[in-house]
């Protein structure tokens, strides 16, 4: 086991590939999701000869919302199964946004389903809402488990609300989010036991089983089995921890057959360090050096308990890595000219792209103070080696600061509107940059960014 890593990452040969066409995968994914929803509505339509009176309308609406909520649960699992085809073509953060939006729809549909069914059955049986609820939960097949699943869904919705989410560590939120899997498992049985559209309809039951078993298989394979198999095959471990700037360290990881991971510049892994206090959480950190057959490197800023603890990792610590993930790669490039716009530790994926992207590349690196410019020596070396331009913008001292506006960006990059822009930084900086790029006339399709905010 080596005691130290190379003094600096070796320069990587730049890709000579031509700009690529837009992938059809995002459009096909949307069509598939909405096509499945249409099939679910068709199932209800075929099993409903007529809708009569308030009871019929209420229970019919309850059946529709229940079917759509059940279908949405399986779709949400598929979106976050980390299937490589979806992840590379769509992007992890974009999938996460789809998942978050779908989660809101799913909770709304589930709530509507519960209320409509209880209301409709109460009118039909001429009983009170409370009494009817007790009858349904205690006497209908699998509905007690379904109720527990529904309550777990509500818990997940509460902890995922933005106001609550911002008040808890990422590791806690991530752990609580696993309750969704249990909620789906508990709710699944009552769909087939009590759902009028499945009772006596064998093809519909088979289709539902296929949907859920397929989603569960993909989830189990890519989220759990693949990371374990990679631990056994690649035997990743911490080789060295090296300080880069105040509160910023680089972690060098070595192992076996690292080239078989097929990681690309700009991508990230979810890293689980198998040591006390860190083993239970898998956090996303981008590669800060181009993938090398002998080692991988991440550069992390202490912004919480998990990231701060990485500075104290001991060489030899075993590592479980999920990935590579992310679509912030050369695949998104549309032109031969590129601007890389990074802020703070968001420089990490851009550092690899600065070295490897072909064509004419300009890097703008923003930080609060000069000493916060992590990897500056490496960036200067890359710029000199490839004849590229790097601009450093700091907030302090004020004489060197520059607002993040369209005018300021055009002052540094006059042909800004002709370039692809890769963007990575803190949320506030990213939002300001997106507004400035829009005002500068950069087409939205040429702005590429990923966010790890949760």
Among residues 166, 190, 220, the one where a domain terminates is: 220
Both 344 and 365 in one domain: the answer is yes
Whole-angstrom distance, CA of residue 252 vs CA of residue 430: 28
Residue 277 has pLDDT above 90, yes or no: no
* 133 and 66 within one domain: yes
304 and 342: one domain? no
pLDDT tens per residue across span 251-260: 999 999 999 9
How many folded domains does the chain comprise? 3
What pLDDT digit, counting tens, does each position of 371-401 carry?
888 899 999 999 999 999 999 998 877 666 6
Residue 425 forms part of a structural domain:
yes
Spatial CA neighbour of 404 closest among 369, 446, 439, 451: 439
Tell me the CB-side half-sphere exposure of residue 421, using CA atoms within 13 A.
27
> What tens digit of pLDDT does each residue of 28-64 get?
888 999 999 999 999 999 888 888 899 999 999 999 9
- The whole-number pLDDT of residue 106 equals 93
Span 209-229, average pLDDT: 91
Mean pLDDT comparison of 65-69, 159-163, 281-285, highest-scoring range: 65-69
249 and 181, same structural domain? no
Give how far the C-alpha of residue 222 lies from the chain's centroid of Cα atoms, to the nearest Å: 14
User: Which pLDDT band holds residue 18 (cuts at 50, 70, 90)?
Assistant: very low
Give the model's pLDDT for residue 211: 94
Contact (CB, 8 A) for 249 and 311: yes
Cβ atoms within 10 Å, residue 47: 16
Cβ neighbors of 209 (< 8 A, separation 6 or more) are none
Domain range for 422: 330-449
In a domain, 254, yes or no: yes
Considering the domain architecture, whether residues 341 and 298 belong to the same structural domain is answered as no
What is the structure's pLDDT at 20? 53
- Kindly state whether residue 1 falls inside one of the protein's structural domains: no
pLDDT at 454: 47
Closest-CA residue to 321 (of 264, 249, 253, 239): 253
Average pLDDT, the chain: 86
Q: What average pLDDT score do residues 311-322 get?
A: 92
> Considering only 83-87, 92-96, 100-104, 186-190, which range has the smallest mean pLDDT?
92-96
pLDDT tens-digit series, residues 415-444: 998 899 999 988 888 899 999 999 999 998
Concatenated DSSP letters of 379-408: HHHHHHHHT-EEEEEESSSGGG----SHHH
Q: In the listed set 310, 325, 340, which residue is the last one of a domain according to the structure?
A: 325
What pLDDT sits at residue 9? Answer: 55
Residue 423 contacts residue 447 (beta carbons within 8 Å)? yes
Whole-angstrom Cα distance, residue 251 to residue 7?
13
Are 257 and 294 contacting, i.e. CB atoms less than 8 angstroms apart? no
Predicted model pTM = 0.75
Is 420 strand, coil or helix?
strand
Same domain (yes/no): 360, 303: no
More confident site: 314 or 371 = 314
Residue 198, pLDDT score: 87
DSSP 168: S
**Do 297 and 354 belong together in one domain?**
no
* The domain boundary residue, chosen from 174, 190, 220: 220
Residues 379 and 314 occupy one common structural domain: no
Residue 286: CATH number of its domain: 2.40.30.10
In angstroms, what is the C-alpha Rg of the chain?
Answer: 25
- How would residue 10 be classed by pLDDT, with cut points 50, 70 and 90? very low
194 plus 335 within the same structural domain? no
CA-CA distance, 87 to 270, in Å (whole number)?
13
Please check whether residue 2 lies inside any domain of the structure.
no
> At 358, is the secondary structure helix, strand, or coil?
coil
In a domain, 177, yes or no: yes
Cα–Cα–Cα angle for 406, 412, 414, nearest 5°?
A: 75
Q: How far apart are CA 446 and CA 342, in angstroms?
A: 16
Tell me whether residue 5 is in a domain.
no
Query: Residue 21 pLDDT more than 70?
Result: no
Q: Say which residue, 14 or 299, is predicted with more confidence.
A: 299
CATH number of the domain encompassing residue 424: 3.40.50.80
Residue 400 is predicted with a pLDDT of 61
- Interval 128-137 mean pLDDT: 92
| Mean pLDDT for the stretch of residues 330-353 | 90
Confidence class of residue 176 from pLDDT cuts 50, 70 and 90?
confident
Share above pLDDT 70 across residues of the chain, in percent, rounded to a whole number:
93
* Burial (CB count within 10 angstroms: exposed 0-12, middle 13-18, buried 19+), residue 293: exposed
Q: Looking at the structure, do residues 144 and 32 belong to the same domain, yes or no?
A: yes
Same domain assignment for residues 320 and 339? no
**Whether residues 118 and 242 fall in one domain:** no
Domain assignment present for 9: no
Task: Give the residue from 262, 269, 271, 261 showing the smallest Cα distance to 237.
Answer: 271
Residue 225 falls inside a structural domain: no
C-alpha 180: how far from chain center: 16
């Amino acid at each position: 086991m080596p005691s130290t890593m190379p003094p600096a990452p070796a320069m990587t040969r730049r890709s000579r590939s031509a700009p690529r066409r837009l992938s059809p995968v995002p459009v096909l994914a949307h069509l598939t999701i909405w096509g499945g929803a249409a099939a679910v509505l068709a199932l209800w339509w075929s099993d409903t000869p007529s809708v009569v009176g308030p009871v019929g309308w209420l229970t019919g609406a309850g059946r529709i919302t229940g079917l759509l909520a059940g279908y949405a649960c399986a779709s949400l699992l598929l979106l976050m199964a980390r299937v490589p085809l979806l992840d590379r073509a769509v992007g992890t953060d974009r999938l996460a946004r789809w998942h978050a939006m779908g989660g809101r729809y799913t909770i709304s549909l589930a709530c509507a389903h519960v209320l409509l069914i209880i209301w409709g059955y109460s009118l039909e049986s001429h009983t009170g809402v409370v009494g009817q609820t007790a009858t349904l939960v205690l006497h209908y097949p699998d509905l007690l488990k379904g109720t527990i699943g529904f309550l777990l869904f509500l818990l997940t919705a509460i902890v995922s609300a933005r106001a609550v989410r911002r008040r808890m560590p990422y590791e806690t939120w991530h752990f609580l989010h696993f309750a969704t899997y249990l909620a789906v498992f508990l709710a699944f049985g009552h769909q087939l036991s009590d759902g009028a559209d499945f009772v006596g309809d064998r093809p519909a039951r088979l289709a539902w089983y296929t949907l859920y078993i397929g989603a569960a298989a993909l989830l189990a394979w890519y989220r759990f089995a693949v990371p374990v198999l990679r631990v056994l095959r690649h035997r990743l471990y911490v080789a060295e921890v090296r300080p880069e700037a105040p509160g910023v360290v680089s972690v060098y990881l070595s192992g076996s057959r690292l080239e078989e991971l097929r990681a690309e510049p700009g991508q990230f892994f979810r890293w689980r360090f198998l040591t006390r206090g860190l083993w239970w959480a898998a956090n996303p950190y981008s590669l800060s050096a181009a993938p090398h057959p002998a080692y991988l490197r991440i550069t992390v800023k202490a912004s919480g308990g998990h990231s701060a603890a990485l500075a104290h990792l001991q060489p030899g610590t075993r590592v479980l890595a999920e990935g590579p993930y992310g679509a912030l790669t050369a695949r998104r490039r549309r032109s031969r000219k590129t601007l890389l716009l990074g802020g703070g530790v968001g420089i990490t994926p851009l550092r690899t792209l600065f070295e490897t992207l072909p064509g004419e590349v300009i890097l703008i690196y923003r930080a609060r103070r000069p000493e916060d410019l992590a990897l500056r020596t490496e960036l200067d070396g890359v710029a000199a080696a490839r004849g590229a331009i790097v601009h450093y913008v700091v907030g302090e001292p004020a004489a060197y600061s520059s607002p993040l506006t369209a005018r300021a960006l055009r002052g540094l990059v006059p042909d800004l509107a002709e370039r692809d822009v890769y963007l990575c930084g803190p949320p506030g900086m990213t939002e300001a940059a997106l507004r400035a790029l829009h005002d500068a006339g950069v087409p939205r399709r040429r702005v590429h960014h990923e966010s790890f905010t949760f």
